[in-house]
């Protein structure tokens, strides 16, 4: 789980509208909390859809409060979203939900004073995985795109076909996909963001810990190489000594997180001319 509560003390508290429904699916109301940007101008702002982690099976949108605060402080709106969880809901329910969230904000951009052409995504672990898929794929509905323009990936899995502990991979595959890992080759391929990297992929900023035992750092390195080969802009920060958590007391972590937010700010800034 992404834990960056220490960041709260560093950030001015923005105005937050809570518990807004963006979708009803399979009998569930899916909600988001909207963080209004701290800014001085009256024009529409960029928006970052923020996605919690938890192995696609747990976690809650409120876990991302500190990151949303930091984003809002930089003059962007942030929306931390809930999505359906396994094993009650199988893949690709989670992806369908966050794609619907992006389309919701595009369709209601005026109401939230955001620019529908300046939407990014950020997330940790499973949330990073979903954020990457928002940047690499598109599932338009009624003419509205679900693709985001920039991604801040915090140790998200990128290629589920390799590098992972077999026992963990089997447990997750059975719970999330509904098959044993050994029998889910095609599903695992479709589940992996690396399968969709191409020249149309959105820019990515990645943070990963050198000591991550759950999502091996090789996953970040594979992503970096794939984006480089495709000619897609990316930055990768490997934080020495960091595991599968954002520990703001570790050297380099606060700077890396700040750089990730600045990356989003630059790429979601208004286009001149």
- Mean pLDDT along residues 77-105: 98
pLDDT for res 272: 61
Task: State yes or no: pLDDT of 9 exceeds 80.
Answer: no
- Mean pLDDT along residues 33-52: 94
In terms of pLDDT, which residue wins out, 33 or 42?
Answer: 33
Q: Which residues contact 64 (CB under 8 A, 6 or more apart)?
A: 2, 50, 51, 52, 80, 123, 124, 127
The least confident of 1-5, 152-156, 187-191, 268-272 is 1-5
- Confidence at 5, pLDDT banded by 50, 70, 90: very low
Cβ atoms of residues 145 and 103 within 8 Å: yes
- Mean pLDDT along residues 132-154: 98
- Confidence at 41, pLDDT banded by 50, 70, 90: confident
- Mean pLDDT along residues 65-72: 97
Strand 28-35 relative to strand 114-124: parallel, antiparallel, unpaired? Answer: unpaired
Site of tokens 């991550």 = 212
Q: Which residues contact 133 (CB under 8 A, 6 or more apart)?
A: 95, 98, 193, 196
Q: Sign (positive/negative) of CA torsion 115, 118, 122, 126?
A: positive
Please spell the DSSP secondary structure of 58-109, one letter per residue: S--GGGGHHHHHHHHHTT-EEEEE----TTTS-TTHHHHHHHHHHHHHHHTH
Which helix H or strand E contains 263, and what residues bound it?
A: helix 253-267
CA 258 remoteness from chain centre: 16
* Residue 37 CB neighbour total at 10 angstroms: 22
* 258 phi and psi angles, rounded to 5 deg: -60, -40
Domain borders along the chain are 5-267
The least confident of 31-45, 48-62, 111-125 is 31-45
Q: Sign (positive/negative) of CA torsion 105, 51, 156, 133?
A: negative
- Confidence at 3, pLDDT banded by 50, 70, 90: very low
Share of residues in the chain with pLDDT > 70 (%): 95
Cβ atoms of residues 2 and 127 within 8 Å: yes
Task: State yes or no: pLDDT of 8 exceeds 80.
Answer: no
Architecture of the domain spanning 5-267: 3-Layer(aba) Sandwich (3.40)
Cβ atoms of residues 206 and 153 within 8 Å: yes
pLDDT for res 40: 74
Helices and strands, counts by H and E, the chain: 8, 8
Q: In angstroms, rounded to a whole number, what is the distance separating the alpha carbons of residues 225 and 3?
A: 28
The least confident of 169-178, 184-193, 263-272 is 263-272
- Mean pLDDT along residues 186-206: 98
pTM (predicted TM-score)? 0.94
Q: For all residues of the chain together, what is the average pLDDT? A: 94
pLDDT tens digits, 209-251: 999 999 999 999 999 999 999 999 999 999 999 999 999 999 9
pLDDT for res 122: 99
- Confidence at 39, pLDDT banded by 50, 70, 90: confident
Task: State yes or no: pLDDT of 1 exceeds 60.
Answer: no
Q: In angstroms, rounded to a whole number, what is the distance separating the alpha carbons of residues 119 and 261?
A: 13
Instruction: Give Cα separations from 115 to 53, 105, 122, 123, 235 (angstroms).
Output: 26, 9, 17, 20, 24
pLDDT for res 271: 77
Task: State yes or no: pLDDT of 206 exceeds 70.
Answer: yes
Share of residues in the chain with pLDDT > 90 (%): 92
């Amino acid at each position: 789980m992404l834990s960056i509560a220490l960041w709260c003390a560093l950030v001015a508290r923005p105005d937050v509208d809570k518990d807004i429904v963006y979708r009803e699916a399979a009998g569930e109301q899916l909600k988001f909390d909207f963080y209004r940007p701290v800014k001085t101008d009256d024009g529409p702002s960029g928006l970052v859809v923020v996605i919690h982690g938890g192995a696609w099976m747990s976690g809650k949108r409120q876990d991302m409060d500190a990151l949303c605060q930091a984003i809002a402080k930089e003059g962007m709106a942030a929306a931390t979203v809930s999505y359906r969880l396994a094993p009650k809901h199988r893949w690709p329910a989670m992806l369908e939900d966050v794609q619907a969230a992006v389309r919701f904000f595009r369709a209601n951009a005026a109401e939230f004073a955001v620019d529908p052409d300046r939407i990014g995504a950020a997330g940790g672990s499973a949330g990073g995985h979903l954020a990457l898929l928002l940047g690499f794929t598109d599932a338009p509905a009624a003419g509205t795109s679900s693709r985001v323009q920039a991604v801040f990936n915090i140790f998200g899995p990128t290629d589920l076909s390799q590098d992972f502990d077999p026992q963990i991979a089997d447990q997750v595959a059975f719970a999330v996909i509904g098959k044993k890992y050994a029998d889910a080759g095609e599903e695992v391929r479709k589940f992996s963001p690396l399968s969709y990297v191409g020249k149309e992929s959105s820019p990515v900023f990645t943070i990963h810990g050198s000591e991550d035992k759950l999502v091996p750092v090789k996953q970040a390195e594979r992503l970096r190489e794939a984006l480089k080969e495709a000619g897609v802009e990316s930055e990768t920060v490997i934080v020495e000594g960091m595991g599968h958590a954002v520990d703001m007391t570790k050297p380099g972590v606060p700077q890396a997180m700040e750089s990730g937010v600045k990356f989003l700010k630059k790429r979601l800034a208004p286009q001149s001319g």
